[in-house]
Structure 1
Amino acid sequence: MVYFCDQIKNTIAWSALTLSRKTLMPLNKLHVPCDLPVETCIQVNTLLHAALVQHFAVNPEDDFCIVMRYAREDMMLHPTFLGPRDPEASIIIDITLMAGRTDARKEAFYSELRYKLQKIGFPPDNAIVFLTENNPIDWSFSRGGSVKKVLAL
């Protein structure tokens, strides 16, 4: 347990020391239908993480993802809002990360992510993606308190 906490602290410290190149980790949540294969979820997270590293300078080691599965009747998604989609086969990609990316970087990220989804055979129109930005005070990984406090940001 202590080793794990030290490892997280070292990773966060590394991230803070290289903040100009790398930014602190995102937390990805994939909201998917129950019957979406595990392999597809892994592929989606892998390409999602690669796009975050490429466009948002995320530390390649900071890969945190939670897959949340829902019965189809519990995912009520509009079939045509801002573009067509198959509500029965759609997923929601929910990314929480530190604030600071430009609109241009976000647009490039969205384009790359949809391109990569297409490459693995997942229809990009069936992915709803949203970013929630916050600050170092909004994260805590240890008894030390917030990331802001632990890293003296």
Structure 2
Amino acid sequence: MPFVRIDMMNHMPKSLQKEIADAVHSALVVTVGIPPDDRFQIVTTHTDNLIYDPGYLGIVRTDNIVMIEIHLSVGRTLEVKKALFAGIKDRLVDLDLRGEDVMIHLIETEPVNWSFGNGIAQYAERMPVHLAAQ
């Protein structure tokens, strides 16, 4: 049930863009426990309007930066969040990206704030198994 936005510069090859999206989804499945078919992602590339601080918090960033925004229902522990961040970073490093160029922002929301179609708040009626257990 996560909704993921992935932003990067447009010099990244299409094949790498897909691998990045796959890696983010894999980390969500493994660390957060979402169902494998629960995938909603927007991948956007930018020519010159991706703005970032190249040295914030002493982390040196390059134009290979990948900014990942994940909207997720509330309820994950700090340990799960840390595992998710590390899992995403590790998978992107396996794709030859630098860990310093991986920025992740997690936005938590109540499950009733989601509509997956038909203008219905599906989770207001019935929580899915993977969320009901939390």
State the TM bucket, normalised to the shorter chain. Answer: 0.7 to 0.9
Deviation sequence 1:45-68 (CA, Å, 0-9, x none): 111111111110111111111111
Matching residue of 2:121: 146
Whether the 8 Å contact between 2:21 and 2:43 is mirrored in structure 1 is no
- How does 1:45-124 map onto structure 2 within 5 Å? 45-72=21-48, 74-82=49-57, 83-86=59-62, 88-124=63-99
Matching residue of 2:8: 32
Q: TM-score, normalised by structure 2?
A: 0.86
Query: In 1, distance between residues paired with 2:21 and 2:6?
Result: 8
Deviation sequence 1:13-57 (CA, Å, 0-9, x none): xxxxxxxxxxxx111111111221111111111111111111101
AA aligned to 1:46 is: D
Q: TM-score, normalised by structure 1?
A: 0.76
Query: In 1, distance between residues paired with 2:10 and 2:86?
Result: 26
* Dislocated runs of 4+, deviation >6 Å: none
Identity %: 24
Please say which of residues 138-147 and 126-135 is displaced more in the overlay. 138-147
**Corresponding position: 1:131 with 2:84:** no
Q: Gaps (5+ residues) in structure 2? A: none
Deviation sequence 1:65-117 (CA, Å, 0-9, x none): 11112112x1110011121111x221201111111111111111111211111
Q: Secondary structure at the match of 2:15?
A: helix
Q: Secondary structure at the match of 2:7?
A: strand
Quote the RMSD (CA, aligned, Å): 1.6
